[in-house]
Amino acid sequence: MTTTAPLPVSAPTLPDQEELIRRLLSDTPLLKDTPDHLLQVVNVLESYGIVLDAYSKNLVDQGQKQLLNPFPVFRFFHEGFNLKRLWDHLLGDRINFEYAEYCQKAMFWHGTGGLDAYLDSDAFREACDRIIAAKTRRDPLLAFTNSLYRGFAPESIRSLTTIYCLGLFWRVMSDLFVDLARRYRIGEVACVNDVVHHIRDGLVAAAGSPITYKVTVAGEEFWVLPPEAGLTFLVDVAVPYVEAVFFRGMPFLGTVSYNAQARQISPDISDFKYGALYADPIPSMGAGIPPSLCMQDMYRHLPEELSSWYDHHGRAQVDVHVQICISFQKSMFCVTNGAIAGTMPHPLDTQDPEQQAANRAYAEAWSGRLMGCQRVALL
């Protein structure tokens, strides 16, 4: 009896730059449109939306209550402080707001977009001076510290402003993701492209929403980000967030050497490639790895449909955090896809040659950056 040798199976080819450009310009999702991808993306974004609801409420609360607080030890208790919450906090039975702070620090450190430009303006410095003057009248510790280190208090206000703005951004994204799951359940979202369109339309609808910030000191209100600053949701907060968290990110302690002689980290932070779209999906669940904290938060709020799907993929619940990380990365490609589509210079169906050329140049710029990402996640 003779047997036929099995035909060799070639590895799937990663999409090249021309293919990415084609997908962006033809309204084809970056992520392959399959039922499994749809199930993963919608459900993981639903769990993420629930987590973002808590992140948003906490960051907005910090912006309202933690102004120039040198010891914000209770900043994670936005729902109120009691002994049970403290005990749960100490046991780790809680949302890990440290991941939210990691994202804020990434935005603050990389400092891109209109928000960061305004934080360097004379108008913002004058607002800081007024707030510090009012605060120091009742706070001798701040007055003493400010006399020694003139840049400390303004920098603290800059950081808190970023915290507050990130909270506003996540408020929109949380509602967007939870509504996506609702539409999926009733059949309005039936493919990956519907997911991208939902995100695109939500971002466009919120694009012009003003970003403002006001604080109260000793009963007197002060504008930190006044309406006349002209800051808006999409250009000044959402796009800088994508740049800082999806693309650049920050190298995690213990995974690369910070020794300058080792040269494992670029001296130019604009070259950083540690964001969510570049990351290897290997959450260690060890202390100090922020995405592991986010995966744990999503695991606690995982929809039953996705949890059951994980039971029959990978190593079932044994590596569920890794599976969540893979699904989450796929979903972030959809969010990036929606952001690119929502900020395309001209409609994709334009017949004007100049507008078509502008769209292609825009798609080329984005696809060039996506080439270095985890394109295997798109297959």
Domain ranges of the chain: 17-69+167-205+233-378
Report the DSSP pairing between strands 213-217 and 220-225: antiparallel
* Structure confidence at residue 256 (pLDDT): 85
CA distance 200 to 326: 22
Q: In this structure, are residues 359 and 346 in contact, taking their beta carbons and an 8 Å threshold?
A: yes
**What is the predicted pLDDT for the residue at 314?**
78
Instruction: Establish how many alpha carbons lie within 13 A of residue 354's alpha carbon, considering only the half-sphere containing its beta carbon.
Output: 0
Residue type, 322: V
Q: What is the pLDDT of residue 5?
A: 55
Distance between CA atoms of 149 and 151, rounded to whole angstroms? 6
User: Which residue intervals of the chain are DSSP H helices?
Assistant: 17-25, 35-65, 83-91, 97-110, 113-119, 122-136, 140-148, 152-185, 192-206, 233, 239-241, 290-299, 304-311, 320-342, 353-370
- Contact, 206 vs 234, CB < 8 A? yes
Global pTM reads 0.93
Cβ neighbors of 208 (< 8 A, separation 6 or more) are 232, 233, 234
Q: CB pairs under 8 A, 24+ apart, for 200-204?
A: 200/337, 200/338, 200/339, 200/341, 200/342, 201/342, 202/172, 202/176, 202/338, 203/176, 203/234, 203/238, 203/338, 203/339, 203/342, 204/234, 204/342
| Cα–Cα dist 255/304, whole Å | 33
Reported as type and span, the H/E element at residue 223 is: strand 220-225
Report the distance separating Cα 311 and Cα 322, nearest Å: 13
* Token output for 323: 């599976």
**Residue numbers in the chain where pLDDT is lower than 50:** 1-2
According to DSSP, the residues that pair with 214 across neighbouring strands are 223
Write the pLDDT tens digit of every residue in 18-42: 999 999 999 999 999 999 999 999 9
211-255 residue pLDDT tens: 999 999 989 999 999 999 999 999 999 999 999 999 999 887 777
Show the tokens assigned to 149. Answer: 């280190």
Please report the pLDDT score of residue 76 as a whole number.
94
154 near 67, Cβ under 8 Å?
no
Going by the DSSP 8-state scheme, the letter that residue 326 receives in this structure is: H
